């Protein structure tokens, strides 16, 4: 066997400890007891806001699901952002039939942030809940569950936005695993009073917070960030609540090609450099610990070093513990079919994330959504 440099060995051990420590930090979420939907007054009302651009087929599915929500007082506000597919005519039809349905036709400015800003000003109620046109609520109790998570102190409610399960698709499993891992992180950070993001597929906050914080003014120069940047810049240790009851999930249509998913992920990570400095450091260190852990293990395996069996033991311990965190999270978030594949999907995802980071470093993504 090849003699292993002590520096290499100790570096691997240090990286392993750092990475395992992150999952200990995350474990506050999967092992937290599930809470039932709380009851509070529905008379305050809630406004549902959706931005759409050329989403006529998705709107035909989504709007009836929103209208059938079992909640006393709510309104639906749809933003039409320069659609050319007949969406405007469809919205007019719903507007004529339902008293709690309204739409806003964005004519001057363009983009999701402009649409949300204009629609928040129209909203009747202080509590606002957001989803996307390609999503549907998992149940008729979505609004009640999200509304019930608000408290006198909670101004932001983080929900889970799942993706539709597709059979016999490795890409679909990868997309849902990445969503699972992201949710594990942002829910755990929130429970640790260190909230750094939320997802616009299932997010709520108050109109008061939006107005007093200046809305998207601080990051209006970038197209993305209507969800994660807003939460990152406005969350405090005490004003964030979670809503993880399965009835409060939303379900989105996943990408079905590698190219479209890659473009989507480039956009999602393209604004991370605008997060608070502490979150940039924490997230970067976690990702680096993942990458280096796998790279160092491969390096030790291919060189058959004298310390390989010690390294192998640390690798196995780390994998078993991490698998237990993923498995418990998958059960809580109704993603049980991913459990057998998580340890395969993780290094594959880490490799793709590195490729996305390199791509974004070379060319900035420019997309509406």
Q: How far apart are CA 68 and CA 262, in angstroms?
A: 34
- The answer to whether the CB of 145 falls within 8 A of the CB of 316 is no
Predicted pLDDT of residue 70: 94
Pairing of strands 250-252, 135-137: antiparallel
Which residue has tokens 């993780």? 346
For 89, other C-beta atoms within 10 Å of its C-beta total 10
Q: How far apart are CA 146 and CA 129, in angstroms?
A: 8
Rounded (5°) CA angle 334-336-339: 140
Taking Cα atoms as reference points, which of 29, 20, 18 lies closest to residue 244?
29
Predicted pLDDT of residue 114: 92
What's this model's pTM, rounded to 2 decimal places?
Answer: 0.92
Predicted pLDDT of residue 360: 65
Predicted pLDDT of residue 3: 54
Check pLDDT > 80 for residue 172: yes
CA 138 to chain centroid, in Å, comes to 16
Q: Per this entry, what is the length of the chain?
A: 369
pLDDT digit string, tens, across residues 198-226: 999 999 999 999 999 999 998 988 888 89
Q: How large is the average pLDDT for residues 301-329?
A: 88
Identify the band that residue 4 occupies on the pLDDT scale cut at 50, 70 and 90.
low
Structure-model confidence comparison of residues 108 and 62, the more confident one: 62
Residue 324: which residues within 8 A CB-CB, separation 6 or more?
A: none
Q: How far apart are CA 305 and CA 302, in angstroms?
A: 8
Q: How far apart are CA 83 and CA 19, in angstroms?
A: 45
CA 192 to chain centroid, in Å, comes to 17
Structure-model confidence comparison of residues 284 and 108, the more confident one: 284
Give alpha helix (H) positions in the chain: 6-26, 56-67, 87-97, 112-122, 142-149, 170-191, 207-213, 228-234, 258-269, 277-303, 308-332, 342-362
Check pLDDT > 70 for residue 36: no
As a whole-number percent, the residues of the chain with pLDDT over 70 amount to 92
What is the crossing angle of helices 342-362 and 258-269, to 10°?
Answer: 70
Q: How far apart are CA 207 and CA 205, in angstroms?
A: 7
Predicted pLDDT of residue 97: 95
pLDDT digit string, tens, across residues 233-261: 999 999 999 999 999 999 999 999 999 98
Check pLDDT > 80 for residue 6: no
């Amino acid at each position: 066997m090849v003699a292993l440099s002590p520096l290499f060995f100790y570096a691997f051990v240090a990286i392993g400890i750092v990475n395992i420590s992150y999952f200990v930090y995350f474990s506050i979420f999967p092992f937290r007891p599930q809470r039932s939907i709380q009851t509070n007054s529905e008379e305050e009302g809630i406004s549902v806001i959706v931005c759409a651009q050329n989403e006529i087929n998705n709107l035909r599915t989504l709007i009836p699901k929103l209208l059938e929500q079992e909640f006393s007082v709510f309104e639906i506000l749809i933003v039409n952002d320069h659609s050319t597919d007949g969406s405007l005519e469809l919205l007019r039809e719903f507007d004529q039939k339902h008293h709690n349905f309204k739409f806003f036709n964005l004519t001057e400015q363009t983009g999701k942030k402009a649409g949300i800003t204009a629609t928040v000003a129209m909203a009747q109620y202080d509590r606002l809940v957001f989803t996307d046109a390609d999503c549907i609520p998992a149940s008729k109790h979505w609004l009640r569950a999200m509304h019930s998570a608000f408290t006198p102190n909670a101004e932001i409610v983080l929900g889970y936005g799942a993706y539709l399960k597709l059979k016999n698709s490795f890409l679909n499993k990868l997309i849902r695993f990445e969503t699972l891992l992201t949710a594990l992180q942002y829910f755990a950070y929130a429970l640790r009073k260190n909230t750094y993001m939320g997802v616009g597929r299932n997010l709520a906050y108050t109109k008061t917070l939006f107005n007093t914080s200046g809305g998207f003014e601080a990051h209006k120069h970038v197209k993305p960030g209507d969800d994660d940047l807003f939460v990152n810049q406005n969350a405090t240790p005490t004003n964030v609540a979670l809503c993880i009851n399965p009835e409060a999930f939303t379900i989105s249509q996943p990408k079905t090609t590698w190219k479209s998913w890659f473009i989507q992920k480039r956009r999602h990570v393209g604004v991370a450099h605008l997060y608070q400095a502490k979150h940039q450091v924490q997230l970067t260190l976690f990702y680096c610990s993942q990458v280096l852990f796998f790279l160092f293990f491969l390096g030790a395996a291919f060189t058959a070093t004298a310390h390989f069996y010690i390294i192998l033991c640390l690798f196995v311990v780390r994998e078993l513990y991490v698998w237990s965190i993923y498995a418990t999270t998958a059960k809580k978030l109704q993603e049980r079919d991913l459990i057998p594949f998580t340890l395969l999907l993780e290094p594959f995802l880490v490799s793709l994330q590195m490729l996305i980071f390199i791509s974004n470093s070379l060319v900035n993504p420019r997309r509406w959504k």
